[in-house]
Structure 1
């Protein structure tokens, strides 16, 4: 009876927590992203410590400042690419719309359905429904709001980083029980180590993937190659789905821009190969060694957090699930959940 009561209480608590997270997403999402930025800054600073000569010369605060500078410059590059490409993209939108419809027409000819009555109806519907200029306008407006949100996130990250030095002191004063304080400190240390390592490595991998993708697209002559490369780097933080979208968007652009199927095939195969090599050699190492999360657990968490927080939830799904797995592993009642979330059953 007690076990059943505990199960009911657990389910109710989970539902209430999910409801609070859903209605409070406008508050929680920037705070969580602020934490992620702090982890990336700290992770980059610790990675710099391992660089020969440079790590020994630079003090900790200098490495923090250099990490902040690197991230700030990266964001400025993204904003610059957005500004210089925005007007050009909107100006070319009508041309892209005609190119897309022409590509669809070529596909119909290839499939020998261009004279079918159903194809005529479908083509009329496409002409009526597809408006790339309106679609791009809404996308660019969304990007503008994202840039504003990034500024808020950086404000949170700045204050969190400033208060980081008082964290251990707060842990000491959180309870008079020395054993409890030691346990909390051990949990937070484990979380900081795993999440910091994961985010730092993932950032390096994403930058590497973006650079390779830019080379492939620039060689093919794809327009806005730098913009697509940055998008691919960001989407790499989203497991599984991010890789698919990172290939899909540039390939659609290639279909619109090029009539030569060989060039389109080059872009497709090049990007797929880059995603395949990094996804099968580097990413498993990061996921396995840093987080110890099951691929199925990652997929389920991606679905849950995307439902709660949309696109932001997709980016935050892996770090949040990793933190929950670490916390669950420290308590006897929730340890089975941590085992199920783990990659190999060992904690």
Structure 2
């Protein structure tokens, strides 16, 4: 009869690996962040690049034309929205001031409803909100100040995309032949499945952002909010965060409307509109386009954002959720990690019995990873 004992060496090796990986992730940000961005872009461009390669009979030219096409679309969008972006940059101090006024009016109203005296509200606003409006300006200033770093990262990202697309078959073959002959077929099937689902997820996520940007912009324009395009795109990007993203995206235009129009129907209309958009996004758009199986629950999403922000700043927060979605897809296709992938699910609270019904087996228990046979 086989006996298993807990292995301190295995557990120590696991902890040491986690610490070393974390250290390498932190110091490797200048290279790893552009590389991961490039991998996601390569996933998105791969179908178009492969189509061009088949038409041209040359992979290198297919890759070059696909990257140039992407850059053309980006530059076209910049030119299309250049006037509004210029207006935003030119009036950034005024926008920041109006947002601060909106915050103050909102908190004064809340304070009055809670029965606080006017002097108490003013003191609290002075002590806590005086620097809030400076945060966007500081972000913009730091971004402009590090423009050389940003341009360098973009150039590095484009170089990585080029080589990832050009050498994609060689990279795939390298990974495939890390499996022995017996496991190669199963390993290749798993890799193809992960790649397929990842591409579908990224394409679906991009489509959701475009749909929400259109809905947000149209709704804000009809309400009469200035800079509707800017607020609409911002809200669409923030909507990547489950449940709370749309609320965060609607908070800024609501405060902006409050500062511009006061306590009229405009701020209320913005709030009602974003509640409506959030319900449509959470129940119809994202489940239909992205698929419910790869959605991340809010707890994991917020934790990923905090960790990503702590490690890599804004770049880490942008990459956090796509990385977690890819990790979840990978774990779903690895038997040993399938119970962990269940903890990522958006409908976790509806699947409380899945661990008892499906994963009550020794091969799924985490402690078994740190046991050795005697």
> Is TM > 0.5 for Structure 1 vs Structure 2?
yes
Question: 1:96–1:244: structure 2 CA closer, same or farther, 3 Å change rule?
Answer: same
1:15-73 CA-to-partner distances (Å, cap 9, x unmatched) read 32222212222221111111111112236789xx9xxxxxxx99998998886566434
Question: 1:76–1:290: structure 2 CA closer, same or farther, 3 Å change rule?
Answer: farther
**Shift, 1:166, TM fit:** 3.2
> Structure 2 residue aligned with 1:267, among 244, 267, 270?
270
1-structure distance, mates of 2:154, 2:234: 15
> Structure 1 residue aligned with 2:327, among 319, 324, 327?
324
Question: 1:44–1:114: structure 2 CA closer, same or farther, 3 Å change rule?
Answer: farther
Whether the aligned pair in 2 keeps the contact of 1:81 and 1:226 (CA below 8 Å) is: no
**Shift, 1:279, TM fit:** 1.8
The answer to whether the aligner puts 1:159 opposite 2:163 as a matched pair is: yes
1-structure distance, mates of 2:340, 2:247: 29
1-structure distance, mates of 2:84, 2:150: 15
**Shift, 1:331, TM fit:** 5.4
Aligned to 1:278: 281
List runs of 5+ in structure 2 lacking aligned partners.
360-374
Question: 1:142–1:36: structure 2 CA closer, same or farther, 3 Å change rule?
Answer: farther
CA RMSD of aligned residues (A): 4.1
Aligned to 2:257: 254
**Shift, 1:210, TM fit:** 0.2
List runs of 5+ in structure 1 lacking aligned partners.
50-56
Aligned to 1:21: 25
Aligned to 1:138: 138
Whether the aligned pair in 2 keeps the contact of 1:195 and 1:319 (CA below 8 Å) is: no
Aligned to 2:43: 39
Aligned to 1:310: 313
1:103-159 CA-to-partner distances (Å, cap 9, x unmatched) read 5358647938897333454565589x3585x54443333555496344432332122
Whether the aligned pair in 1 keeps the contact of 2:246 and 2:274 (CA below 8 Å) is: no
Question: 1:272–1:289: structure 2 CA closer, same or farther, 3 Å change rule?
Answer: closer
1-structure distance, mates of 2:211, 2:95: 30
The answer to whether the aligner puts 1:236 opposite 2:223 as a matched pair is: no
The answer to whether the aligner puts 1:222 opposite 2:225 as a matched pair is: yes
Aligned to 2:15: 11
**Shift, 1:201, TM fit:** 0.9
The answer to whether the aligner puts 1:92 opposite 2:91 as a matched pair is: yes
Aligned to 2:340: 337
Aligned to 2:74: 75
Residue 246 of structure 2: SS of its match in structure 1?
helix
Give TM-score scaled by structure 2 length: 0.71
The answer to whether the aligner puts 1:117 opposite 2:119 as a matched pair is: yes
Question: 1:258–1:37: structure 2 CA closer, same or farther, 3 Å change rule?
Answer: same
Question: 1:270–1:65: structure 2 CA closer, same or farther, 3 Å change rule?
Answer: farther
Aligned to 1:30: 34
Question: 1:225–1:171: structure 2 CA closer, same or farther, 3 Å change rule?
Answer: same
2-structure distance, mates of 1:63, 1:260: 56
1:198-238 CA-to-partner distances (Å, cap 9, x unmatched) read 01011111101000100011122222221222222322334
Residue 91 of structure 2: SS of its match in structure 1?
helix
